[in-house]
A and B are shown apart, each in its own frame.
Chain A
Amino acid sequence: MKKWLLTGVASAAIFAAAGAGASDIKQGGSMIVTYKDDVSTLDPAIGYDWQNWSMIKSLFDGLMDYKPGTTELVPDLAESFEISDDGLVYTFTLRQGVKFHNGREMTAKDVKYSLDRVANPKTQSPGAGFFGSIKGFDEASSGSAEGLSGVEAVDDNTIRVTLARPDATFLHVMALNFASVVPEESVAEHGADFGTNPVGTGAYKMTDWTRGQHVIFERNADYYQAGLPKLDKITFEVGQEPIVALLRLERGEVDIAGDGIPPAKFLETMKDPKFKDQIVEGKQLHTGYVTMNVKMKPFDDVRVRKAVAMAINKDRIVRIINGRAVTANQPLPPLMPGYDSDYSGQPYDVAGAKTLMADAGMADGFTTELYVANTDPQPRIAQAIQQDLAGIGIKVELRSLAQSNVIAAGGEEDQAPMIWSGGMAWIADFPDPSNFYGPILGCGGAVQGGWNWSWYCNAELDERAKKADAMTDPSQADARIEEWKAIFTAIQEEAPWVPIFNEQRFTIRSDRLDGPDGIFVDPVHIPVHYDHVFDKGVQ
């Protein structure tokens, strides 16, 4: 039995990590954040878009979380946890005295209820599949059993989770929004409308939601982390066009433009000296890639796939989007553990690509289709790819469609020969390489309606992936990452994807606000870690 005792992580450690001027930052003040789309839901079991992801994180807590601005796991509502030697039993000791926004104290029963709720098919949670390694998941998700047999509330402060198979990503799963702790009585009271009446244990509580106009968060005075959150109030204004949001930010009416800097204003804003100190740039767990359907001719030939990879001028694509990304040569983004900085992938080499095409018997080229989501700048990127491929004789016709139509086409075995992934929101759910494999490169995703649009399925690699995820012993952590690195290199040698770039994030905030840079481009709390933003005016 290994004991992982992690106490007192709370504020002090987090601040040290975030590199801020420690905990003497005063609380108070407020900010206004704008978004174009209305907030869809704040139910942690359901919310799954990049806009509500971070909002939910401020309203709710789970057993685990990440150090602000980083991808490093830390306990949250759990005070400490133990992992059994076989890696199958996790015992969490809960922090005491944590209260829900309704005033009731949170207990282990609530944790059990929350996990059962996500697995229950009636909840219709898009995140239910993440909990597949917990014992009893299949029975619970098919509705043949009430609740997860693998989750037990041992006493008020102890929760024990038994897994059906070793899962090295389990602690990451406990840090997902879907694993947030919710009070049963509030869910029962509001039913399906819990998403507009959220009650959690988080740093903020929601006090008003006026559809189409704004959502208001106010400071949770009972929050368990002393000194947090920094602001008294956050107003999220919705229905705001990004260009207009930027104008308002300039005038001081808005503090954070949630949708970022609109492409049309990007160069101008970046060059403007008055914004110099207000823009924060950061990496994110994102890769933009082109899939080639290996079940459709001629992409069943690895030489053709490699030729495509070598014919695309990624530098020019990055230039077209004004340098808002860095070129990529492998599926994993640089921020992800397992990224191989020594790997060079397929180089940009048009002559080499032509040779490969000739080897494959395709010297005269062929005609194919590239599917792309219709939101700017995706069609532009697709047109650049189209021109590059024309250079090696491949005539590409574009199908620029609404996002859901592209996703539907990708899920059919014989429909979309190529897809540009941009705009389809492929940002990692959690910072572990495993998350970049299963649904999008593994055999499990290569099914009708799945997300593996290249339909690449390599049973041997699947087996290796399974083994890597069974390496749960902390002493094996490095070996596991090395194995994942090798798996992704092996995949890229088969070139089912052409990785094009990793998007950079640029957050613009008003002069009134401050905080450690990392929290404005937090890789997990996307786009901003609201809890740590503070108001300069009250200091």
Chain B
Amino acid sequence: MPAYLFRRILEAALILLGVSLVTYILLFLLPADPVRQIAGRSATAETVESIRRQLGLDLPFYEQYWRYLTSLLQGDLGRSYIQRSEVAELIAARLPASLLLMVAAICAELAMGLTMGIVSAVRRNSSTDQSLMVLSFVGVSAPQFVVGILLLYVFAYQLGWFPISGYGTFGHLVLPAMTLGFMGAGWYSRMMRSSMLNVLGQDFIRTARAKGLGKARILLRHTVPNALLPIIAMIGIDIGIFMSGIVVVESVFGWPGIGQLAWQAIQRVDIPIIMGVTLVAACAIVIGNLLADIVALFVDPRIKLK
């Protein structure tokens, strides 16, 4: 195990290096000139060149990237071109909110999705199964903006059960988590159903049935745990998706997460922020997938490390 972990962490470092290089190349290829944006409409050519030199943007590509990499290793993500604040500080201020929403949304989608999936599998091809199928597809197909505003209008504006928007209390968390959960539940429910059906068709379940074990016991002790494997992999993926930002839901509910920061930076070509957010998201993705692989080892002891 320690050797496996060590190897995976080493690989993770390589992946992050790769992501940073690819992102840097892409940003370098963009025709929009950040210096012009900083210098403003009335700037003279000399001012533009002076700012370019100060930011090191006159250097050849490899030198710029090397500079970025060396300061990155010292924990310096640079300063935003537009906000002029430390990128690390901007991200750190929004990270807790993103993490909180991620955990809540994953709980919400698991609770809804697994329930729907298990019921569907147990009552396969019934009208319940078919209704849940349609509901899953609605969840995945519905635009998040619309779902978010509808939930907000009904539960916060009309009924007043939750605050309309903001961050801080448990009440603020419920609606954004539900909006994300509704979409995610569609995926989890369909995956869980298909995974359950695979497990139900296997010999050990038939054996258990033949032994006369109770239906509930077979379901909870034998079927569900064995069906969880692909679900674990999906949670790993979700960690990455949520940390790279869920722009729409954040802006509908005024949630101060990473997504809004990233979206604004992409639109305005604020290179240091784009780099910073991409690297944070890459870390989350690598960590999420690593965790998923490790958890899978515990859930399914048959998998051997190779």
Contacts and interface: CB of A to CB of B under 8 A. Distances in A.
B40 interface: yes
A40 B83 contact: yes
Nearest to B31: A408
A431 interface: no
Contact of B79 (A192, A212, A237, A409): A192
Contacts of B252: 241, 244
Contacts of A248: 164-165
B267 to A, nearest CB: 5
Given A40-B83, A121-B54, A244 B40 contact: no
A241 B54 contact: no
11 contacts: A41-B84, A41-B85, A128-B40, A130-B42, A142-B46, A211-B90, A243-B149, A251-B164, A403-B268, A412-B31, A449-B33
Contact of A38 (B44, B164, B261): B261
Interface of B: 30-33, 36-48, 50-51, 54, 79, 82-86, 89-90, 93-94, 97, 149, 152-153, 157, 164-167, 250-257, 260-261, 264, 266-269
The 8 closest A-B pairs by CB, nearest first: A126-B40, A212-B256, A129-B42, A211-B93, A404-B32, A121-B50, A408-B32, A404-B269
A247 B85 contact: no
A12 interface: no
A248 B40 CA distance: 36
Interface string A196-218: 10000000000000111100000
Contact of B94 (A196, A212, A404): A212
Interface in A119-155: 121-122, 124-130, 132, 138, 141-143
A43 to B, nearest CB: 7
Contacts of A439: 41-42
B40 A125 contact: yes
Interface string A28-59: 00000000111011010010100000000000
B261 A212 contact: yes
Contact of A43 (B31, B51, B84, B267): B84
A282 interface: no
Interface residues of A, number: 56
Nearest to B93: A211
Contacts of A440: 41
A253 B164 CA distance: 9
A229 interface: no
A59 B152 CA distance: 35
B256 A239 contact: yes
B256 A213 contact: yes
A60 interface: no
A127 B44 CA distance: 11
Contacts of A412: 31
A40 B80 CA distance: 10
A412 B32 CA distance: 11
